[in-house]
Amino acid sequence: MNKICKYMLLAFLILMPDVSAHAADTGAAAPDVDIKSMLFGHIGDSYSWHITKIGEKDIVIPLPVIVHSSTGWHCFLSSRLEDGPYEGLYCAEGGEFDGKIVEKDAAGNEVRPFDISITKNVAGLMINSLILVLLILGCSRWYRRHDVLKEAPAGIAAILEPVITFINDDVIKDSIPEDQSRKYAPYLLTAFFFILINNLMGIVPVFPGGANTTGNIAVTLVLALCTFVAVNLFANRHYWKDIFWPDVPWWLKVPIPLIPLTELLGIFTKPFALMIRLFANIMAGHAIILSFVSIIFITVKMGPAINGGMSFITVVFGIFMDLLELLVAFIQAYVFTMLSAVFIGLAHEGGTRKQAEAEEE
């Protein structure tokens, strides 16, 4: 029991700083805690990496802003933007481009320049990718340096090997025909570990974690796009025939191509579902945990007794949600990989099935 209390306290302390900083941000401006902006501030993207606030001093990692505006390329640290416009660029407040860097055009309207800044999410992606690459290359280095026939895997290899073989054997090889699975395995394994690492790092509340990468639709869009390309670019004849001339009664496809149209739509809805599923799950997870934590700050006004009680309940629920998110982090990575593998498998299956049938005959 003592141990559990200690962990709770620890979790409480870990969960605290980021949120308290956000709450303090808005709390200074308005007497009420602005939960919405805190929540969206955390879930969304930003030009600097806010770590915490000690007293009145914000601890922020400034990130490079790279913008191509009407006056050409601009490249500077985001800390320059704190004191108003810099080189004609500033952060919009409210309006269509809330929180984004904008410039004023000739008519005085706010317009968005071409913006490829290293934002918090980009930095997070870079850090997570670096971790991922180091982990996997460390693992493959072990295999290069050791004789697998004589030694059992140790270190990183021992941790990663079961996961890699699980995904490779139970997900990829089960879904994709043998001759094709070797080609797609590196992409699918990378996608799995990329999503898993990003999900897990998103749960860690302090730097270098905490960036809501896989809960951002741009990230999941790219992932889904890659699966879309992987499915459709190398699909066999049978796959396209199933889409444009499926085995259904003729009247479903001749005057009005009802089924072909549906199938054609299906090409796009499948990756779209992948995109939305991952994005919504991770984003919702972050939102729920943040909402729980913000209960503490909402109930401050209700007196110490209620605030204390609610804090305790919140911490308990926060721990529960964090554990659930750990599970979700794995499940979503698994589901994305599995569905990608199934879609790729479907794009290759018909041919081999026909071949198999021909061989049987």
Partner 1 sequence: MSLLMPDSGLLFWMLVIFLTVVAILAKWGFPVITSMVDKRRKYIDESLTLARKADEKMANLTKEHERIIGEARAEQNRLLKEAAEARDNIIRQAKAKAQDEADKLLAEARIQIEAEKESALSSIRSQIALISVNVAEKIIRKTLAEDKEQQELIRKMVDESLKMDSDTVKN
Strand partners, 74: 67
Per-residue contact track with partner 1, 160 to 199, x per CB under 8 A? xx--xx--x----------------xxx-xxx-xx-----
DSSP state of 90: E
Among residues 8, 132, 252, 335, the one that binds partner 1 under rule CB under 8 A:
132
Size of the site for partner 1 (CB under 8 A): 51
Instruction: Name the segment binding partner 1 (CB under 8 A); options: 5-13, 14-22, 212-220, 337-345.
Output: 212-220
Residue 145 touches partner 1, criterion: CB under 8 A: no
- How many angstroms separate the CA atoms of 192 and 336, rounded? 7
Instruction: Give alpha helix (H) positions in the chain.
Output: 2-29, 35-43, 120-145, 156-165, 173-175, 178-203, 217-233, 237-244, 258-298, 304-360
Q: Are 17 and 206 in contact (CB under 8 A)?
A: yes
Q: Does 268 bind partner 1 (CB under 8 A)?
A: no
Please tell me whether residue 21 binds partner 1 under the rule CB under 8 A.
Answer: no
Q: Is 156 in the site for partner 1 (CB under 8 A)?
A: no
115 binds partner 1 (CB under 8 A): yes
C-alpha to C-alpha distance for 335 and 331, rounded to whole angstroms: 6
For partner 1, the binding residues in 286-315 under the rule CB under 8 A are: none
CB 124, CB 201: distance < 8 Å: yes
Q: Which of 28, 148, 154, 158 binds partner 1 (CB under 8 A)?
A: 148
d(CA 308, CA 23): 18
For tokens 């410039």, the residue is: 103
Question: What's at 170, amino acid-wise?
Answer: D
Task: Please report how close the Cβ of residue 298 comes to partner 1 at its closest, in angstroms.
Answer: 22
Residues 6+ apart with CB under 8 A from 18: 42, 50, 51, 52, 205, 206, 210
Using the minimum distance from each CB to partner 1, give the nearer residue, 197 or 267: 197
Select the span of 21-29, 53-61, 141-149, 350-358 touching partner 1 (CB under 8 A): 141-149
Contact window for partner 1 (CB under 8 A) among 144-152, 235-243, 261-269, 289-297: 144-152
Task: Pick between residue 121 and residue 332 the one whose CB is nearest to partner 1.
Answer: 121
Residue from 203, 283, 296, 341 binding partner 1 (CB under 8 A): 283
Sheet of strand 64-69, all strands in order from the earlier edge strand to the far edge: 72-77, 64-69, 114-115
Candidates 129, 236, 291, 352; binder of partner 1 (CB under 8 A) is 129
Q: Which of residues 39-58 bind partner 1 (CB under 8 A)?
A: 40, 43-45
Q: Which residues of 250-280 are buried (b: 16+ CB within 10 A; e: fewer)?
A: eeebeeeeebbeebeeebeebbeebbebbbe
* Sites of contact with partner 1 (CB under 8 A): 40, 43-45, 98, 100, 114-119, 121-122, 125-126, 129, 132-133, 136-137, 139-140, 143-144, 148-149, 157, 160-161, 164-165, 168, 185-187, 189-191, 193-194, 216-219, 221-223, 225-226, 283
